[in-house]
């Protein structure tokens, strides 16, 4: 009998880190663009707040399974304002990171042998969880502009389909799905009795200053929509594992069963930090967004030298640039050669598509959360000198 975990692949980031073994970076420092997690600590005022609340007795105890009431209420209030809709605290759950929000949502929606439409290139942890849950990931290929086609999705819906997943701004491609595309997927999901799961982990770094979609303005939105979010990227709380899920009250009751069985509650210190951040770090987060947008522009402005070498920029936004390489070699081999030749660690497109999808062999993901505009210039200079 095959175990659940044996049904899926090795965690891609951990596999890529294995390529560093035995490499010498003393002469040329490693540029690590493999992972989207920020490596800097939270801002100093947040750290000070965390140091203070660590003294509170309840920080060390189990909390409500669906999260601190004050944090749920703040998410509901800020989201209602930002999206121009009506969201109640009871429709918000706090999870141990956004990955757990996804896992809980799939457990709530799907049974053995069900299907979920997953645009490809996909976020690999989504695919891994579907594999381990016994849920079939039905590939919805994105071509050209790396945006999925709603009509293509319709053709792939079967009686076993339970949900459609969107990630915007996208991981791994960086692209921001247009509002009309998002609403088209919502209407398709609604008309077929499916859930639309929209992962907005990177919403704080969207290039659009207003609401990126009108989903929360739809009548009875909670009968179709399940939204996922991460505080990790917004406030650099990756190690504290705090995310959120927004759905109907009935669905939240089912999600609560999952959370109570797996983690009981999200990290209390992380939840208190997230709440403090929402109340006090609006201007700081706005500055972080501008910095990420500046790096995005640096990708665009400096791509000319790579284009001259045969590279293509397929998508860019939030923390990511998605590239097509010019070499007569599969991207999983190219990525390892980048470590050896120019001390760059990036993930190959083969980690973001099914094994049968040949497009991944031509693609490379660059995660630029931890390199600034000057670092991007250095990165591109190194890539331009690769010979394979």
Do 178 and 293 belong to one domain? no
Q: First CA to last CA across the chain, in angstroms?
A: 42
3-state percent breakdown (helix, strand, coil) of the chain, nearest 5: 50, 15, 35
| Overall average pLDDT of the 240-249 stretch | 97
- The two three-digit tokens of residue 72, written as one number: 């749920």
| Overall average pLDDT of the 82-110 stretch | 98
pLDDT of residue 264: 96
Q: List the one residue out of 235, 240, 199, 1 whose CA is nearest residue 103.
A: 199
CATH code assigned at 20:
3.90.1150.10
Structural domain span for residue 373: 5-41+284-384
Task: For tokens 């951990």, name the residue.
Answer: 14
Do 362 and 260 belong to one domain? no
Indicate if the pLDDT at residue 70 is higher than 70. Answer: yes
User: Which residues have CB under 8 Å from 297's CB, separation 6+?
Assistant: none
User: Whole-model pTM?
Assistant: 0.96
Indicate if the pLDDT at residue 96 is higher than 80. Answer: yes
From residue 177, alpha-carbon distances to 112, 142, 157 in Å are 30, 11, 21
Indicate if the pLDDT at residue 306 is higher than 60. Answer: yes
- Split at pLDDT 50, 70, 90, the class of 1 is low
- Split at pLDDT 50, 70, 90, the class of 329 is very high
Do 290 and 241 belong to one domain? no
Instruction: Domain count for the chain, please give it.
Output: 2
pLDDT of residue 43: 96
């Amino acid at each position: 009998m095959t175990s659940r975990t044996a049904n899926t692949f090795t965690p891609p980031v951990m596999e890529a880190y294995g390529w560093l073994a035995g490499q010498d970076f003393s002469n040329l420092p490693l540029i690590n663009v493999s992972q989207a997690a920020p490596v800097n600590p939270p801002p100093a005022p947040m750290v000070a707040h965390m140091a203070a609340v660590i003294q509170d007795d309840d920080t060390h105890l189990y909390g409500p399974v669906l999260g601190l009431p004050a944090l749920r209420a703040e998410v509901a209030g800020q989201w209602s304002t930002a999206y121009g809709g009506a969201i109640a605290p009871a429709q918000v759950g706090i999870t141990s990171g956004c990955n757990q929000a996804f896992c809980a949502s799939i457990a709530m929606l799907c049974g053995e042998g069900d299907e979920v439409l997953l645009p490809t290139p996909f976020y690999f942890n989504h695919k891994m969880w579907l594999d381990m849950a016994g849920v079939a990931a039905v590939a919805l290929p994105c071509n050209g502009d790396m945006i999925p086609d709603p009509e293509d999705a319709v053709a792939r819906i079967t009686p076993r389909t339970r949900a459609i997943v969107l990630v915007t701004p996208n991981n791994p491609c960086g692209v921001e799905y247009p509002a009309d595309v998002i609403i088209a997927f919502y209407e398709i999901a609604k008309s077929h009795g499916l859930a639309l799961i929209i992962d907005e982990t990177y919403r704080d770094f969207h290039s659009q200053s207003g609401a990126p979609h009108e989903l929360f303005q739809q009548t009875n939105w909670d009968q179709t929509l399940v939204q996922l979010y991460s505080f990790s990227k917004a406030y650099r709380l990756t190690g504290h594992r705090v995310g959120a899920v927004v759905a109907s009250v009935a669905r939240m009751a089912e999600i609560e069963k999952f959370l109570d069985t797996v983690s009981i509650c999200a990290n209390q210190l992380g939840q208190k930090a997230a709440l403090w951040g929402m109340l006090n770090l609006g201007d700081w987060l706005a500055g972080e967004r501008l910095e990420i947008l500046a790096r995005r522009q640096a990708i665009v402005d400096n791509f000319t030298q790579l284009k001259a070498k045969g590279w293509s920029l397929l998508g860019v936004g939030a923390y990511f640039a998605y590239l097509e390489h010019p070499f007569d070699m599969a991207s999983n081999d190219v990525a390892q050669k980048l470590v050896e030749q120019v001390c760059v660690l990036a993930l190959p497109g083969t980690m973001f598509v099914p094994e049968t999808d040949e497009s991944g062999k031509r693609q490379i993901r660059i995660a630029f959360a931890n390199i600034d505009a000057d670092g991007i210039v250095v990165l591109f200079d190194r890539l331009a000198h690769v010979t394979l």
